[in-house]
Amino acid sequence: MSRIVRFGAGSVGVLDGGSVRDLSSLVDPPLRGTPYAINDLIARWDDVAEQVAGVAASAPAISVAEAGLLAPITHPRNLFAAPLNYRPHVAEMVGSRHAPTGLKAHHSAGNLGFFLKAPGSIIGPGEAVELPPLPGRSFHHEIELGVVIGREARGVSIDEALDHVFGYLCLLDITMRTEGEQQEERVTRKSFQTFTPLGPWIVTADEIDDPDGLDLQLWVGDELRQSANTRDLIVGVAQLISDASHVLTLSPGDIYATGTPDGVGPIVPGDTIRAVVEQVGEVEVAVVQRAW
Ligand code: MN
């Protein structure tokens, strides 16, 4: 039904053609304008969905450019990520100099679990990926379908899992690659500030027929680096959610990065990354050298 955005100084809204309509009046008053407004709107969605059209129609139309879109979610309680969830990506990593010690093809059995990225790594439209000054390391792009949790999920079955999805977004899991004796923790390598570009909006789940059937493509400059379809996920979206929900309770606004296909490769300052997830969205970010 909708493309949900954050904009301005922290308002929540819905896209209406080329305009944004403010939905902040649907948020619990103490949370309006705070980073948690979007989590609250998502948590209330079942109760307020019927009011969205009316509130949007009575709100002034603000052009997208004037509104200034922000990362649609900056404070998920959990930012989950799937490692090695496409077989061709498993193959390229097993065979590469970046392969962590002990990386084996057992990942293809589909028993992979999740890791976490620090939510502080999230950025939104108009922000740049900043590469830290660490000689000898390389930095790779990873395009991923991001899933946004709607209804709280605890111990849900695979059949029930998609009922707990609020929507989807385009996500980049920027990653520092190590070699040889360099063995920083994966969570660290993927959590540098700016390493999780998101957005530019959340597409609500009713707009997506099948999350396990979406094309993903990523360019660096004019070069197509990654091109795949989520049907090739080793563990599909419903099972990722079900499995995680048996570890801990998933909360409204949680994000799950579902894994990247093959074709990952280095980015350097001066690059521009453009990533498209079919029916979901498109993210474009510049890559710069971190200034601190
Ligand atoms: Mn990833």
Write the DSSP symbol of residue 212.
Answer: G
Class of domain 79-289: alpha beta
Q: How confident is the model at residue 106 (pLDDT cuts 50, 70, 90)?
A: very low
Q: Give the whole-angstrom CA distance, residue 168 versus residue 106.
A: 29
Per the confidence metrics, is the pTM higher than 0.85? yes
**pLDDT of 277:** 97
Contact 285, 127 (CB under 8 A): yes
Amino acid at 46: D
Distance 1 CA to ligand 1 centre (A): 28
Distance 115 CA to ligand 1 centre (A): 9
Distance 190 CA to ligand 1 centre (A): 8
Distance 278 CA to ligand 1 centre (A): 18
Least confident of 42-51, 87-96, 226-235: 87-96
Distance 140 CA to ligand 1 centre (A): 10
Alpha-helical regions (H) of 106-225 = 158-161, 186-189
**pLDDT of 90:** 83
Distance 95 CA to ligand 1 centre (A): 17
How far does CA 204 lie from the centroid of its chain? 14
- Is residue 240 scored above 80 in pLDDT? yes
Q: Give the chain's radius of gyration (CA, Å).
A: 19
Identify residues whose C-beta is under 5 A from ligand 1, the ion. Answer: 142, 173, 260
Task: Specify the domain boundaries for CATH 3.90.850.10 within the chain.
Answer: 79-289
Share of the chain above pLDDT 90, in %: 84
Contact 103, 177 (CB under 8 A): no
Distance 67 CA to ligand 1 centre (A): 30
Distance 82 CA to ligand 1 centre (A): 6
Distance 231 CA to ligand 1 centre (A): 16
Q: Give the whole-angstrom CA distance, residue 8 versus residue 64.
A: 10
Distance 15 CA to ligand 1 centre (A): 28
